[in-house]
Amino acid sequence: MRGFWPIFKRELFGFFVTPLAWVLIVVFLLVQGMHFFLLVDHFSSQTEIVSDQTPLSAFFGNTVLLYVVLFLLVPPLTMRLFAEERRSGTIETLLTVPVSPTAVVLAKYAAALTTYAAMWLPTTYYLVVLDRTGKIDVPVAAASYLGVFLVGAAFLSIGLWMSALTKSQFLALVLTALIILVLFIIGVAEFVTKDGTWMNAVASHVSIWAQMNEFSSGLIDSRRLCFDFALILVPLYLTVRTVDSWRGAGS
């Protein structure tokens, strides 16, 4: 893992000196702030309790805005990681120094994941707001953030791989968005396929919506964790193999 920290620090600094990163952060916080306000306003206007749903579970599991944000946030975060370096030719310099492909890939991935987590950090203030008006279930809140982190980590891993496959940032963005969209559509098929069929079982297992509904209720299924880790590790492995192939063939 020699060379991990210098590359990690360079990539992390690179994120926060670009206007795109700050635009993404501002838009993300504005959308999530509006999302939270609308949910709290909805629950406060109810004269009687009609379900056991809470603002916290609704915020993380039962509104489409969460998934729209993930769909719009992840592709721009990862599109430049390898594509820009290959286009500009700087990847050749990076590959000539004594650093392993694994260190390069993990450093870039860790920088993107740290940025993603930093974007979500201000939303923990919503928990403070909710705690002042009622009691917060800490395990449920922790499970909800764990779910968001794992889903984001999986999507970022896919985006990193797509960025390694092309020299075009735009193409990397499109490919990442398409894969995320396909995964979401497969998951939605859970609601249109017959219960008990293999198609329904596959769709339910892949469904990000179903996963976040469970996590936002405080339910952590080991099968979900295995799927998330597979969706993280497989693209990372393929990215390492792709980067390693450049040493002999050129980028």
In tens digits, the chain (251 residues) has pLDDT values of: 667 888 898 888 888 888 888 888 888 888 888 888 888 777 777 655 555 677 777 888 767 777 777 888 889 999 988 888 888 777 777 777 778 889 999 999 999 999 999 999 998 888 888 888 777 788 888 998 999 999 999 999 999 999 999 989 999 999 999 999 898 888 888 877 888 788 888 888 888 888 888 888 888 888 889 999 999 999 999 999 998 888 665 54
pLDDT value at position 240? Answer: 93
Q: How many CA atoms lie within 13 A of 88 on its CB side?
A: 11
pLDDT value at position 248? Answer: 60
* Residue whose tokens read 């980067």: 243
Torsions phi, psi of 46, nearest 5? -75, 130
Q: 222: buried, middle or exposed (CB in 10 Å: 19+, 13-18, 0-12)? A: exposed
Mean pLDDT for the chain? 85
How far is it, in rounded angstroms, from Cα 241 to Cα 184?
27
For the chain, state the CA radius of gyration.
Answer: 20
pLDDT value at position 1? Answer: 64
CB of 140 within 8 A of CB of 216?
A: yes
How far is it, in rounded angstroms, from Cα 110 to Cα 69?
20
pLDDT value at position 22? Answer: 87
Global pTM value: 0.90
User: C-alpha 12: how far from its chain's center?
Assistant: 16
Tokens of 153: 């980590």
Helix (H) or strand (E) holding 105: helix 101-120
CB of 174 within 8 A of CB of 83?
A: no
CB of 37 within 8 A of CB of 133?
A: no
Q: Percent helix, strand and coil across the chain, each rounded to 5?
A: 80, 0, 20
Cβ partners under 8 Å of residue 206, min gap 6: 183, 186, 187, 227
DSSP 250: -
Tokens of 16: 């926060």
pLDDT value at position 251? Answer: 45
